Structure 1
Amino acid sequence: MPFIQTEMIRLNQTFATTEEAITAAGAVLQDAGCVTPEYVEAMHERQAIANVYIGNYVAIPHGTEAAKSAVQKTGISFLQVPDGVDFGGQTAKLVIGIAGVNDEHLELLSQIAILCSDESNVERLVQAKTKEEILALFMEEVA
């Protein structure tokens, strides 16, 4: 998965609210040049429409269809939240922000869902001590 890079991975994050977690995931995408500030706003809009929590301690914040023009390049932000953060009554320990050019976000969602459908993979990602461990697991699982 070429869209995830070590500089877009954050370990041991702590968030008090869903909003803080989404803002942080969006900020990583924005800092990497993947999205404009409008996309980060659209990530919050998406959460207001439908919870982006997918199960197995994983949330995948992403923008609305209307925000497609705010995506400059495809990318993934990965936030490890060992103590968890509430997403609509569910606890997320992994917050994976995505932005995709055209329909690339659908492929990203699919690959992340496959990786995170295995609870042992999620546990390994939550327990990872280095960004390289996280990157290696993504590469191993979706290659």
Structure 2
Amino acid sequence: MRTVRDASGTHYILLKESKDASLVRDPETGAERHVQNADLEPVDGESPLATAAGAVPDAVRTVVTAAHDDRALGLLVEVADRGPLSVHELLDSYDLCESDLHGLLAEFRAAGLLEEVDVTGRRGYDTTPTADRAVDALTDR
């Protein structure tokens, strides 16, 4: 398999190739169709697996990449549900040491999932719209 694109720039996963036409799949819809080979060109440097990942909404891909384990994902869900939360509340509420908590918060900020906010005069965090969309999609809310 490889990634190809048509004249409009749409990327597809090439499934089968014959003399005149190829069977391609649209990663966003899953629809398969035959396209004339003359209407397709290879996309150099793009893995078909990366193309397939395009079916996952951007916000969800960001969370999947940033949340390395269940605790990290759980922290993001909790801030989405209960936030904004101060750092003090986060330390008191969950079984994370200070360095682990700050590491996760920094990763989520770098990924654009959390933002620093003031919570009753203390430094705290709240989710961004990207995180909210992802948590909604992941939790089927």
Same fold (TM over 0.5): no
TM-score (norm. length: structure 1): 0.22
The structure richer in helix per residue is 1
Higher relative contact order (CA 8 A, sep 6+): 1
Tell me which protein shows more strand as a share of its residues. Answer: 2
User: Normalized against structure 2, the TM-score is what?
Assistant: 0.22
